[in-house]
Amino acid sequence: MKNLRASFFLPDPPEAIELRAFTHGLMPKTVPAMMNHFVEDWQRYGVDAWNAVPNHWRPGSGDDVGWWALPVYLGDHFIAPLVGALPGTCIMQPHVHWTVQCLLSVPEVFAGKGEVVLTGAEFPSVLHSVRQWAGLQGYTVRVIPPASDGFVDQEAVLGAIGAETALVFLSHVGFTTGEKLPDAFLARVAAAVHAHGGLFALDGYHATGSVPVEVTAYDADVYFGGLLKEGCGSSGNAYVYLRPGLDLHPRTTGWFGDADPFGFHAAPAPHPEVRMRFLGGTSAVASMYHAVEGVRLFLEAGLDAVRRHSLDLTGLCIARAEAAGLRLRSPREAERRSAMVILEAPAADKLCAYLKQHHVYTDSRQGRYLRLAPFVWNTPDEVHRAFDLIADTLSSGDYLTVEEPEAAGPVT
Ligand SMILES: Cc1ncc(COP(=O)(O)O)c(C=O)c1O
């Protein structure tokens, strides 16, 4: 793979090892210039920037861009190739929560149907939203518990899909397990739900930027995710893909998604492009200046190469972790691995705090699990150094004397 390490700002001090791509990706080196462009565009063009600014996203392409069109422009030129979709199907979103609100507000999704199927391991932006809308849309929520190994119970998911199923939500990569659902299973889910006229929605947050995504191979109707984490685009930048031909009318559509926004008519009119109906009020512009700088790097390097690098490093992590006596809690097989490795470690919160004091950045959960994600900027040497430290401190017990490990912070 083209060496992407040099394309990111690495943390201080120079020996630090950043292993938390699942929380907030590092900043691509092109971001400061992009943010300067935002400042300059606002300063120079003011209100006219909504119509036209220089094309900083694809300089030399000859394409006209303005702030108004950025959500679809980035959708066509960066998100669509990232998820294997055609232009015209993807649009930027402020966050996943908004996308899910829009989807659940579509009346026709629930016409003649009474159930939404999902696993208990969906992120709250999905799980809570599905529960919140149940009464409003009159459906029941069917939560599929995990299998005995803690991973998605694939047969139970398939078995739950029937004539009543309006929607199935799954996570392409589970945020608590690191499990990447196999393509063949996703395609089976799509076939089952489509056989009954329902929709299949996939939360691809942790797949975005770390795994080659092919929405058409899984036949997903809706695929959404965000660029904060492995996508390296920071916050305010999520996206949605909508299968061509899907005609949805979210009740939450705002005036930015209206067919004639500057007509200021008394009643709303649905935009002819379905993806536009997933817009609410005024789009946040500044975040779109840093949104796709990570995506640009991944597309240039090739997602297959990014994935190979990730699999090499996660494979190394697993081997070193098991040699140090730690139990693997995320999947072992390459096809089911994501960028995330989860290990069971005694006093994992103290281990995480000890590692942080030694500038190795991981995170911990419930005092039991150590989570880490070696990513595009990491090298095999860094993984070895991190695990040399882990192995040493596990055998000496030094880390157990760490005082007051930080409570798990605002990381997901
Ligand atoms: C699987 C998954 N979906 C969604 C999100 C984020 O949702 P939102 O953009 O609504 O904050 C996360 C964040 O951690 C996540 O892990």
Query: What class has domain 5-22+302-401?
Result: alpha beta
CA 173 to ligand 1: nearest atom: 1
Looking up tokens 């419930």, which residue turns up?
Answer: 366
CB 361, CB 13: distance < 8 Å: no
Q: Is the CB of 230 under 6 A from ligand 1?
A: no
The DSSP line for 349-406 is HHHHHHHHHTTEE-EEETTTEEEEB--TT--HHHHHHHHHHHHHHHHH-GGGG--SPP
Q: Is the CB of 22 under 6 A from ligand 1?
A: no
pLDDT of residue 407: 58
To test the ligand 1 pocket, which listed residue (92, 127, 412) has its Cβ within 8 A of the most ligand atoms? 412
Q: Is the CB of 95 under 6 A from ligand 1?
A: yes
Q: Is the CB of 123 under 6 A from ligand 1?
A: yes
CB 344, CB 41: distance < 8 Å: no
Tell me how far apart the 2 most distant CA atoms of the chain are, in Å: 72
Q: Is the CB of 203 under 6 A from ligand 1?
A: yes
Cα distance between residue 280 and residue 71, in whole Å:
12
Cα distance between residue 136 and residue 48, in whole Å:
41
* Distance (Å) from CA 233 to ligand 1 centroid: 14
Indicate which residue's Cα is closest to atom 14 of ligand 1: 412
To test the ligand 1 pocket, which listed residue (23, 101, 125) has its Cβ within 8 A of the most ligand atoms? 125
* Distance (Å) from CA 22 to ligand 1 centroid: 10
pLDDT of residue 411: 53
Q: Is the CB of 205 under 6 A from ligand 1?
A: yes
Q: Is the CB of 226 under 6 A from ligand 1?
A: yes
CATH number, domain 38-299: 3.40.640.10
3-state DSSP percent of the chain in helix, strand and coil, to 5 = 40, 15, 45
CB 158, CB 147: distance < 8 Å: no
Q: Is the CB of 96 under 6 A from ligand 1?
A: yes
CA angle 75, 80, 84 (to 5 degrees): 165
CA 171 to ligand 1: nearest atom: 1
* Distance (Å) from CA 403 to ligand 1 centroid: 31
Indicate which residue's Cα is closest to atom 8 of ligand 1: 96
Please compute, for residue 273, the number of CA atoms within 13 A of its CA located in the half-sphere on the CB side: 15
CB 96, CB 226: distance < 8 Å: yes
Cα distance between residue 180 and residue 249, in whole Å:
31
What residue ranges do the domains of the chain occupy?
Answer: 5-22+302-401, 38-299
Going along 122-242, which residue ranges are E strands? Answer: 140-144, 165-171, 199-203, 222-226, 238-242
CA 23 to ligand 1: nearest atom: 14
Cα distance between residue 259 and residue 231, in whole Å:
31
Antiparallel, parallel or unpaired: β 90-93 and 115-119: unpaired
pLDDT (tens place) for every residue of the chain, 412 residues total: 678 999 999 999 999 999 999 999 999 999 999 999 999 999 999 999 999 999 999 999 999 999 999 999 999 999 999 999 999 999 999 999 999 999 999 999 999 999 999 999 999 999 999 999 999 999 999 999 999 999 999 999 999 999 999 999 999 999 999 999 999 999 999 999 999 999 999 999 999 999 999 999 999 999 999 999 999 999 999 999 999 999 999 999 999 999 999 999 999 999 999 999 999 999 999 999 999 999 999 999 999 999 999 999 999 999 999 999 999 999 999 999 999 999 999 999 999 999 999 999 999 999 999 999 999 999 999 999 999 999 999 999 999 999 866 655 555 5
pLDDT of residue 360: 98
CB 4, CB 21: distance < 8 Å: no
CA angle 312, 314, 317 (to 5 degrees): 110
CB 337, CB 33: distance < 8 Å: no
Looking up tokens 């659902």, which residue turns up?
Answer: 181
Q: Is 110 helix (H, G, I), strand (E, B) or coil?
A: helix
Q: List the strands of the sheet with 369-372, edge to edge.
A: 327-328, 341-344, 369-372, 363-365
